[in-house]
Structure 1
Amino acid sequence: MNQWKNFTKGFIKENPVFVLLLGMCPTLGVTSSAINGLGMGLATTFVLVMSNMVVSIIKKQIPEKVRIPSFIVIIATFVTIVELIMEAYLPSLFQSLGLFIPLIVVNCIVLGRAEAFASKNNLVSSVVDGFGIGFGFSFALVLLGGIRELLGSGKLFSITIYPENYVTLLFVLAPGAFIVLGYLIAIINRIKKD
């Protein structure tokens, strides 16, 4: 039961984008489409889960003075793995996400979970927490990207929903990301109050 709480708190109560307002750079930068949001979310989830797992296993062997640099090296290892796999098997997604993939290394969500949770908890709890936070982040990116893609291009996951002459180009541009994110945060805050 406690593991389920760890999972759902990352998805609902401590959603990195809508509640904690973390990881705004990739959130606003890559969510011009739902597929980009999904790709970035799943890449970040993989890095979160794997780095949480390794940190929770070796936490007692890491000296206090080099704790944060050690976490960054662990995270960078898994980001490199994700980057190489995406470049080899998903080249178009790799091109779309561009610089944001290597920036996962310094994403405050990943480093924060390694420091605040994985370094203080057991392996199972850390892995479940990584999945919860990762899926919450993925959900937020896909939702934001889906809304922006639908309003800005008339498509959803590149499938045409309505004709292009009814779209509002603003939503696939940078200001559209801020507008949609602002409304989503307002809606979620309203739901949480009720």
Structure 2
Amino acid sequence: MGRNRRPKESGGDKRHFSEWRKPSASASTCRDLTWIHTNRFPILSPSSPEFLDKVVDPELEQWGRKLNELWKDLGRKISDDVEQNPDKYSQIFVPNPVIVPGGRFREFYYWDSYWTIDGLLLTGMEETVKGMLENFIQMVNDYGMVPNGGRVYYTRRSQPPYLIPMVKLYMDQTNDLQFL
């Protein structure tokens, strides 16, 4: 598809496109909008997971402790308003807190959660994992599969089937037969 007008005829603004700026909202407004439907949820992680006691390199041990602290920043709880007014949100409500793959995310991602669950179990956070698995099982009940991520526009696509391997990781660690 071609342009309707030649560049010289497109108006008086001769700035490069990278110089164009749209007015932006203040940081507090953006923060308030984010908190409307997703709240950071401080996941309780052990301050000293057992495996770190076995790390002999002090720098690696310190790095492991800092990494363990990230769980607190990556926890999210979906607002009850998303459940009560699903037509107002693109997020999918899940009842249990989730761990997102990075600080900018507000929803879970299926594939990423496998690796997250492996790390959570390593740090002794079985209850968090159990809640995430319950969320995924709810997705299977609601959509027939686990969507690619926690948004309604992901409900027509998934990722490789990792729910069973996730449950296996959990069962190998906990032997929680009541969960099955």
TM-score scaled by length of structure 2: 0.29
Instruction: Tell me which structure has the larger Cα radius of gyration.
Output: 2
